[in-house]
A and B are shown apart, each in its own frame.
Chain A
């Protein structure tokens, strides 16, 4: 039994292995880029918009509203990064109903890469919002004694972020594999459907946690909004 899609190698070229993780990641990236390109090529601001544009607008404004609710800040700066994380992980997990597909999030390499990008994004957004001095000052915020623990928690939450997504995606595939050998045909389908829900929730969790970490580093006091004050729903 393959425990990770890393071990499923399609072809080898000069020591470079094209395994299932990379191939399916590229496939999802190509799919997302192609859909976004085709839809945004003909954007209209009339009253008549195409259903695909409508779908993308719902997605983007929904993500923006969620970010605004969580951080009480203007989502414009965070939307590209956090939204990309959510859409990529959600697509990667939801495609696992397609036969022959293995979710690249079921590989520890993918989730570690995603968690590392969050790990890098936290100081980048923090420095951008508060300056280097303001960002570094929060390590010594209550007392300087807390600085080592803050640094340890930065690393441990990155590891936790990676293992959580990996464990959830891998356990879904693994349980289906075990159930197929024990009680075929019916229960694997149920677990597969349950895996869709878990995959979507995990994508949401990953994006929310990334947003919480970034927002806690980039907390600028003067830009705090009241919740839902500028929400599109109430206009």
Chain B
């Protein structure tokens, strides 16, 4: 396999691994945050406004780690710098 093929194969494999592993942690974290917030709302329905707002903010912050993984995998697939460099060197 030439270097272009190796770069392409490794990029695709790494992109898949990145998004697969990178979504496990945030999924667990978000599930935990949501279940805690639900039980908190069930215990104190009066505070539902504050809890919901804090929940949304913390969900977005947890989710951002998954978003970073998504950005990295998108860069690997669509805007890979090594792929471009190898194309330029080859052609």
Contact = CB atoms under 8 A, between A and B. Distances in A.
A123 interface: no
B46 to A, nearest CB: 12
B79 A3 contact: yes
A69 B53 CA distance: 10
Nearest to A208: B57
A160 B62 CA distance: 12
Contact of A164 (B56, B67, B78): B67
Query: Looking at chain A's contact residues, is the secondary structure mostly helix, strand, loop, or mixed?
Result: helix
B70 A164 contact: no
Nearest to A168: B67
A201 B67 CA distance: 15
B39 to A, nearest CB: 22
Interface in A63-82: 66, 69
A167 B67 CA distance: 6
B47 to A, nearest CB: 11
B71 A174 contact: no
Contacts of A69: 50, 53
Interface residues of A, number: 19
Contact of A170 (B60, B61, B68, B74): B74
Contact of A202 (B53, B60, B70, B78): B60
B56 A204 contact: yes
Given A160-B64, A201-B56, A205-B57, A166 B78 contact: no
Contacts of B56: 201, 204-205
B71 A170 contact: yes
Contact of B70 (A1, A3, A167, A204): A167
A3 B74 contact: yes
Given A170-B71, A171-B70, A209 B57 contact: yes
Nearest to B69: A167
Contacts of A28: none
B64 A167 contact: yes
Contacts of A171: 67, 70, 74
Nearest to B50: A69
Given A164-B64, A167-B68, A205-B60, 8 more contacts: A3-B74, A160-B64, A163-B64, A163-B71, A174-B74, A201-B60, A205-B57, A209-B57
21 contacts: A160-B64, A163-B64, A163-B67, A163-B68, A164-B60, A164-B64, A167-B67, A167-B68, A167-B70, A167-B71, A170-B74, A171-B67, A171-B70, A171-B74, A174-B74, A201-B56, A201-B60, A205-B56, A205-B57, A205-B61, A208-B53
